[in-house]
Amino acid sequence: MRAYDIIKKKRDGLKLNQAEIAAIIKGFVDNTVPDYQMAAFLMAVYFRGMDEEETYWLTECMRTSGDVIDLKGIEGFTVDKHSTGGVGDKTSLVLGPVLAALGLKVAKMSGRGLGHTGGTIDKLEAIKGFSCELSTPEFIKAVNTTGVVIVGQTGNLVPADKKIYALRDVTATVDSIPLIAASIMSKKLAVANKGLVLDVKVGSGAFMKSLDDARELARLMVKIGKQAGRKVTAVISNMDEPLGEMIGNSVEVIEAIETLRNKGPESFATLIKALAAQALALASDLSHEAAEAKVSEVLENGQAYKKLLEMVKIQGGDVSMIEDYRKLPAAEKTVELKADKAGYISQIHCEEIGLAAMMLGAGRETKESKIDMGVGLKLIKHVGDQVKAGDVIAELYVNPKRDNDKAVDRLRAAITISPQHVTPQKLILDIIS
What pTM does this model have?
0.91
Domain ranges for the chain: 3-49, 79-323, 329-418
Assess whether the region 79-323 and the region 329-418 belong to the same CATH fold.
no
Per-residue pLDDT, 421: 94
Q: How far apart are CA 399 and CA 413, in angstroms?
A: 21
The one catalytic residue among 10, 112, 163, 187: 187
Per-residue pLDDT, 1: 84
As a dihedral over the C-alpha atoms of residue 175, residue 182, residue 8, residue 212, rounded to 10 degrees, the angle is -40
C-alpha closest to that of 101 among 241, 271, 383, 311: 311
Q: How far apart are CA 344 and CA 244, in angstroms?
A: 19
Per-residue pLDDT, 334: 97
Q: Please give the sequence-ordered ranges of beta strands (E in DSSP) within 120-208, or none if there are none.
A: 148-152, 195-202
Q: How far apart are CA 294 and CA 298, in angstroms?
A: 7
- Is 183 known to be catalytic? yes
Per-10-residue mean pLDDT, the chain, length 433: 96 98 97 97 98 98 93 93 88 96 92 61 92 88 95 84 90 92 94 95 88 96 96 95 94 97 93 96 90 94 98 97 97 96 95 92 74 94 96 97 94 96 93 93
The one catalytic residue among 161, 199, 240, 372: 161
Structural contact between residues 171 and 42, judged by C-beta atoms closer than 8 angstroms: yes
Domain 79-323 has CATH 3.40.1030.10: yes
- Is 161 known to be catalytic? yes
Per-residue pLDDT, 86: 81
The one catalytic residue among 82, 90, 231, 294: 82
Query: Around Cβ 388, how many Cβ atoms within 10 Å?
Result: 10
The one catalytic residue among 65, 83, 92, 183: 183
Q: How far apart are CA 312 and CA 149, in angstroms?
A: 9
- Is 313 known to be catalytic? no
Plot region of 384 (φ>0 → left; ψ -120 to 50 → alpha; else → beta): left
Structural contact between residues 103 and 304, judged by C-beta atoms closer than 8 angstroms: no
Per-residue pLDDT, 24: 98
CATH code of the domain occupying 3-49: 1.20.970.10
Per-residue pLDDT, 112: 61
Per-residue pLDDT, 110: 79
Query: Read out DSSP for 268-318?
Result: HHHHHHHHHHHHHHHHSS--HHHHHHHHHHHHHSSHHHHHHHHHHHHTT--
Sequence letter at residue 65: S
Sequence letter at residue 271: L
Per-residue pLDDT, 31: 96
The one catalytic residue among 105, 112, 123, 168: 168
Pick the CATH number of 329-418 from 3.30.390.50, 3.90.1170.30, 3.30.9.10, 3.30.465.10: 3.90.1170.30
Per-residue pLDDT, 297: 96
Sequence letter at residue 148: V
- CA dist list (Å): 63 to 25, 66, 174, 188, 248: 11, 7, 18, 8, 31
Per-residue pLDDT, 425: 87
